[in-house]
Structure 1
Amino acid sequence: MDKLPVWFLDVADAKRVSPHMARITLTGDDLADFVYAEPDQQVKLYFPRPGQAVPRLPEPNADGNLMAWYQAYNEIPDDERPWMRSYTIRARDAERNTIDIDFVLHEDAGPATRWAASAKPGDTIGVFGPSTMFARPVALSHSIGAADWVLLAGDDTALPAMSTIIEWLPEDAVAVAYIEVNGTEDEQRFDTRGTLTTHWLHRADAKPGHSDALVEAVRDAVFPEGSVFAWLGGESGAVRALRRHLVNDRGIDKRAIDFAGYWRLKLTQDDAPTEEDMAEAMERVADAQTSSA
């Protein structure tokens, strides 16, 4: 078994993409072996606790045993164990030996947001991945290529992943995107070879997770003709509502929908999963097994 992909990377640059989005550029010698194959490629990030210059992580074991490494991570005392969050690689620049990670900045800041808001060159962060051990079950390149058009729907937390998909689209691809952000100032520009129609949805005075703009827009949309592959991301409740609508009201096959609840209203990633979270996880596993059968 190969060595576990555990890296320590340093901040090379930190800037604002929009008022509520920070782009942190990371670099390090370990990136020489960093494989960036498809869009929506995720990694685990480990944020140092107060007083730590470098997050405390176990040494990767020689036999690549993930469970042993993770057990050692959990055995680190609570006040020293780094916070862990999942993020999408926004871009990889092999020539500069860097990767970009985009962070949504919001008022109710957790450890990831607090770190990103104050990150400066020289700061160090821990990274696990990319790895097939927690890879997405859907091969996006195959799914997109097999459909007549692509539906993308999500809030600003899904914007980094959606951006990678949009930029990856081949010339003959047709995509329609519904993206919920705070306001006009948080809209972004995309470069793509495909044909893209973007619908920007503004929360106005509503807090994240309290707006129905995204779900209502997709429900009211007139879809193009032909088969569709749908990618959904954002707040878990909204993602579940969108998926139910596509399956129950639009008759779209579950296997043609990739979905990810990036965050939960009133709960953090440190909180225990709810029954809905567990049901969603089991369904993702079942879908992955069906797709690979």
Structure 2
Amino acid sequence: MTDAPFQFFVVEVLRTERVTPAMIRVVLGGPTVSRMASAGRDQRVKLLFPQAGQSEPVMPDTTRADWYDAYREMDPAVRAIMRTYTVRELRHGPDEDELVIDFALHGGDGGDGGTPAGPATRWVRAAAPGDRIGVLAPVHEENAGYDFRPPEDTDWVLLTADDSALPAVAAILETLPPGMPARVWVEVHDRADRQELATKADAEITWLVPNPATTVTTAEAVRTAELPAGTPYAWIAGESATVRTVRRHLVGERGLDRRRVKFSGYWRSGTSEDHLLNTGEPA
């Protein structure tokens, strides 16, 4: 797989940081991180977590072109737990190369009758320096693992996301040219989960926080917004039903060219990623 655009790596936790109550940043390192590449923006990678009791993930024969088929043939109780995440930052430096991933935390321990945490959230809550995971990452900056590709004639950008897509929004905002108008809506669970988002763009960022009296959904916020004039490019990500609703509004009611609206369901309410993986259904 030396010529493959994506390759497998085993990395280890260097350090962790609590960014907000609902997000943990994990900095990963190792000698192979220097070979990774990223386009910035919404660059996706696959993370492979060890099962409970394993010191590192059990992965398929990663030299095989059909590694995914080999992975699915493995015992689900033994094989690594695979999830898709956005690269928050890839740092290449003279002293150390680092891959930064921000994890949105979902679920608890299930003891209160609430939704139990998934395997990625359980792993990151316990992550400590030296813990090892696998990564399927690109080795070329131009790759098929990112979607934010505004045409050159774009006058302004529209972004919508929830906490699952917040790391991608943060990375996208950092790449926008100075002065580029951007209208951004981000849903989070609590006011404490808002972040300072660095950008040189002319960004108007609206945080949507649940409130029994005044809750406004992303779709409602976009529907009632006054948008800039000119040629837009929209990037919509997060829960699948919300993404579809916003896209229908932008294309059907606002008249945006569907080719200039990129949408991605990061997750589906009521459905686990394991179910989607095993059935082959899209999010």
TM-score, normalized by length of structure 2?
Answer: 0.88
1:166-204 per-position Cα deviation (integer Å, ceiling 9, x unaligned) = 011111311110011112211100221211111111023
How far residue 32 of structure 1 moved from its aligned partner, in angstroms, is: 1.3
The code of the aligned residue for 1:91 comes to E
CA distance in 2, matches of 1:193, 1:102: 21
Q: 1:121 aligns with which of 107, 129, 136?
A: 129
Alignment partner, residue 27 of structure 1 = 29
The code of the aligned residue for 2:200 comes to R
Q: Which structure has greater helix proportion?
A: 1
Segments of structure 2 that go 5 or more residues without pairing to the other structure are 108-114
Q: 2:92 aligns with which of 91, 94, 107?
A: 94
Which secondary structure does the structure 2 equivalent of 1:271 belong to?
A: helix
Alignment partner, residue 200 of structure 2 = 193
CA distance in 1, matches of 2:158, 2:151: 10
Kept in 2, the 8 Å contact 1:183–1:204? The answer is no
Alignment partner, residue 284 of structure 1 = none
How far residue 130 of structure 1 moved from its aligned partner, in angstroms, is: 2.3
Q: 2:158 aligns with which of 148, 151, 166?
A: 151
How far residue 205 of structure 1 moved from its aligned partner, in angstroms, is: 6.1
Alignment partner, residue 59 of structure 2 = 57
1:116-175 per-position Cα deviation (integer Å, ceiling 9, x unaligned) = 111111111111112677523x452xx154211000111111100000000111113111
How far residue 71 of structure 1 moved from its aligned partner, in angstroms, is: 2.1
Kept in 1, the 8 Å contact 2:45–2:138? The answer is yes
CA distance in 2, matches of 1:51, 1:234: 32
TM-score, normalized by length of structure 1?
Answer: 0.85
1:130 and 2:129 aligned: no
How far residue 60 of structure 1 moved from its aligned partner, in angstroms, is: 2.6
Which secondary structure does the structure 2 equivalent of 1:240 belong to?
A: helix
How far residue 72 of structure 1 moved from its aligned partner, in angstroms, is: 2.0
CA distance in 2, matches of 1:36, 1:258: 19
Closer, same or farther in 2 for the Cα pair 1:122/1:217, shift >3 Å?
A: same
The code of the aligned residue for 1:124 comes to R
Which secondary structure does the structure 2 equivalent of 1:182 belong to?
A: coil
Matching of residues 116-265 of structure 1 within 5 Å: 116-130=124-138, 134-136=144-146, 138=147, 140=149, 143=150, 145-204=152-211, 213-265=217-269
The code of the aligned residue for 2:105 comes to L
Kept in 1, the 8 Å contact 2:13–2:130? The answer is yes
Segments of structure 1 that go 5 or more residues without pairing to the other structure are 281-293
CA distance in 2, matches of 1:216, 1:264: 19
Closer, same or farther in 2 for the Cα pair 1:144/1:180, shift >3 Å?
A: farther
How many aligned positions are there?
267
How far residue 272 of structure 1 moved from its aligned partner, in angstroms, is: 3.8
Closer, same or farther in 2 for the Cα pair 1:272/1:188, shift >3 Å?
A: closer
Identity of aligned residues (%): 40
CA distance in 2, matches of 1:214, 1:66: 40
CA distance in 2, matches of 1:134, 1:56: 25
CA distance in 2, matches of 1:205, 1:54: 43
The code of the aligned residue for 1:226 comes to G
Alignment partner, residue 111 of structure 2 = none
CA distance in 1, matches of 2:11, 2:220: 41
The code of the aligned residue for 2:131 comes to D
Kept in 2, the 8 Å contact 1:152–1:175? The answer is yes
Kept in 2, the 8 Å contact 1:41–1:130? The answer is no
Alignment partner, residue 77 of structure 2 = 79
Give the CA RMSD over aligned residues: 2.3
CA distance in 2, matches of 1:227, 1:7: 40
